[in-house]
Structure 1
Amino acid sequence: MNWHQICDIDLLLPEYGVPVLVGDHPVAVFRTHDDQLFAVGNVDPYCGAGVISRGIVGDRAGEPTVASPMLKQVFSLRTGQCLDDPGTRLPVFPVRRRAALVEVALP
């Protein structure tokens, strides 16, 4: 795996996403209210737009989620699985904090 620096942790506000392009991969990086980091694909699989980073962050029964701003499908931030349509999912990428930096890994 190759780790790529994304941004300073202070630029990643809780409950908001940040869109980044890592190589050829559009990624949405999120920091939740309890300071967890998640990285999923930024392209909405239902409409093909790069908008997941602008989705509404929340949770469903304790599962951290993001709702697409386009058609409102809800995706798990842990697994990328659509909780409204289990046959659809977003890619998930490893993410970590190193000192004050956020990094995402690609295979």
Structure 2
Amino acid sequence: MTTDVATQEPTLALAAWIRVCRLEDLSPERGSAALVGGEQVALFRTHRDDVFAVQQLDPFSGAHVMSRGIVGTRGEAPTVASPMYKQVFDLRTGECLDAVGKEPQALRTWAVEVRDDVVHLARPEPDEWDAT
């Protein structure tokens, strides 16, 4: 069994993971974009080498720009601020931390695991592939 770097929780079986890149390909405190299963994903590596994955699509502007956002923190939460309208999102949950409008917007997130310095994302369930 393997352990998630960010949460230290047990993770899924190896077959449920997609290899994305090497950890060294991700610059600390900067975003990178990847195409995973036909979907654009924004990857973020912290100074502690925690890696987070959220959708590249900014839900407020409709532009695929989240990997260009500003990485930071709010309290204990690692965050990214959208480069478009500056809404701040929790990288762990995708939750928007800035109240905007009636319906809260959130980023889709993926479970991330780093094994042998290789970043893997959790493979979506088959119905999730169809929804993208």
Deviations 1:45-100 (A, max 9, x none): 01111100110000011210000011100000000000002711000101111102
What 5-or-longer segments of structure 1 have no aligned partner?
Answer: none
Specify which structure has the higher proportion of helix.
2
Alignment counterpart, residue 96 of structure 2, candidates 61, 76, 82 = 82
Partner of 2:44: 30
What 5-or-longer segments of structure 2 have no aligned partner?
Answer: 1-11, 125-132
Figure out how many residues of one structure are paired with residues of the other and give that number.
Answer: 107
Q: Is 1:44 aligned to 2:61, yes or no? A: no
Shift of 1:24: 2.3
Alignment counterpart, residue 93 of structure 1, candidates 110, 116, 125 = 110
Partner of 2:68: 54
Partner of 2:79: 65
Shift of 1:105: 1.5
Give the number of the structure with larger relative contact order, counting CA–CA contacts within 8 Å between residues 6 or more apart: 1
Deviations 1:13-55 (A, max 9, x none): 1101110111122111110112111011110001111100110
Determine helix, strand or coil for the equivalent of 1:57: strand
Which TM-score applies when normalising by structure 1? 0.93
Which TM-score applies when normalising by structure 2? 0.77
Percent identical residues: 51
Please tell me whether Structure 1 or Structure 2 has the larger radius of gyration of its CA atoms.
2
Partner of 2:120: 103
